Amino acid sequence: VAEDLVGHDVAMIRADNPGPFTLSGTNTWVVGRDPAFVVDPGPALAGHVAAVVDEVERRGGVGGIALTHDHDDHAGALRELRRRTGDPPVAAAAGGAAGAARLADGQAFGPFTAYATPGHAPDHLAFVAGDACFTGDAVLGQGSVFIAPDTGAMSAYLRGLRRLRSLPLALLCPGHGPLVPDPAAKLDEYITHRLDRECRLLDALARGLRSEADLLDAVWDDAPAVLRPATTATLRAHLDKLREDGRLPRGAGESAGGRTRTA
Ligand SMILES: [Zn+2]
């Protein structure tokens, strides 16, 4: 893994917060030197913050901290990291952490250009520096991500993936899981995976299935039970996209409690 980082002057520091959503833990990325920039401080764990502080001190301090999104496993350590590194500037999308400068799609921050990649969170950014992309939870090193069911989230997510696919990238540095040395193949895999779920969902709907439970059982039969809430969210995001595309049959996505929120 380390040899993929040779020539990129990037360090990966993995937090000790493994779990079904974080895989082996959250990745914090330290990029460049004199000063270094940090992507995602990670969770508020003392040992993790200490490791990040050590790395940035070796690299001549922090020029800025970029947040892919404001979930706790990525942004929890922000306050403590700032406090211990001389209060450097922070940049995030509109919904980012308090005290962060708003970064819009296409804007620069230190060595990075921000790419809007909504889906997992409505205000999610990926950061491109040279031929490396720091993908947060838009693309993981392994497995897939759940998509929050905000209106338009799934189609926006697919657009974001296709934009990243069009860039000449040599390396993806994900928020969880291993480095991705073949970005084109991984992005194709992610796009194909979503379209494959959509295909299977359309097939289940064509067979007359309508309730969330039936659709989940039919389309996400491979998902472990612990991920059921996440697959439910992703199902709703897929249903929203089908509605947007005018392909959603009447009554789809109803649960026992009545109409569920899919918008
Ligand atoms: Zn995460």
Mind listing the pLDDT tens digit for each residue in 100-133?
889 999 999 999 999 999 999 999 999 999 999 9
pTM check: above 0.85: yes
What is the distance between the terminal CA atoms of the chain, rounded to a whole angstrom?
Answer: 41
> If pLDDT is split at 50, 70 and 90, which confidence band does 254 have?
low
- Give the distance (Å) from ligand 1 centre to CA of residue 59: 25
One-letter amino acid identity for 166?
S
- Give the distance (Å) from ligand 1 centre to CA of residue 70: 9
- Give the distance (Å) from ligand 1 centre to CA of residue 17: 10
Give the angle 101-106-107 at the CA atoms, nearest 5°: 35
* Mean pLDDT score across all residues of the chain: 92
pLDDT of 21 reads 86
Check the CA dihedral 35-41-163-104 and report its sign: negative
- Give the distance (Å) from ligand 1 centre to CA of residue 19: 10
Of 105, 138, 94, which is closest to residue 120 (Cα–Cα)? 138
> In angstroms, rounded to a whole number, what is the distance separating the alpha carbons of residues 240 and 235?
9
Percent of the chain with pLDDT over 90: 85
- Give the distance (Å) from ligand 1 centre to CA of residue 71: 7
- Give the distance (Å) from ligand 1 centre to CA of residue 27: 9
pLDDT of 95 reads 61
- Give the distance (Å) from ligand 1 centre to CA of residue 250: 34
CB 243, CB 155: distance < 8 Å: no
> If pLDDT is split at 50, 70 and 90, which confidence band does 182 have?
very high
pLDDT tens digits, one per residue of 131-168: 999 999 999 999 989 999 999 999 999 999 999 999 99
- Give the distance (Å) from ligand 1 centre to CA of residue 249: 33
- Give the distance (Å) from ligand 1 centre to CA of residue 206: 34
- Please say if the pLDDT value at position 1 is more than 60: no
One-letter amino acid identity for 202?
L
> If pLDDT is split at 50, 70 and 90, which confidence band does 259 have?
very low
- Please say if the pLDDT value at position 257 is more than 50: no
Give the angle 142-146-150 at the CA atoms, nearest 5°: 150
pLDDT of 2 reads 53
pLDDT of 7 reads 78
- Give the distance (Å) from ligand 1 centre to CA of residue 178: 13
pLDDT tens digits, one per residue of 24-54: 999 999 999 999 999 999 999 999 999 999 9
- Residue 195 has which token pair? 């379209």
> If pLDDT is split at 50, 70 and 90, which confidence band does 263 have?
very low
- Give the distance (Å) from ligand 1 centre to CA of residue 207: 35
Average pLDDT of span 64-79 = 96
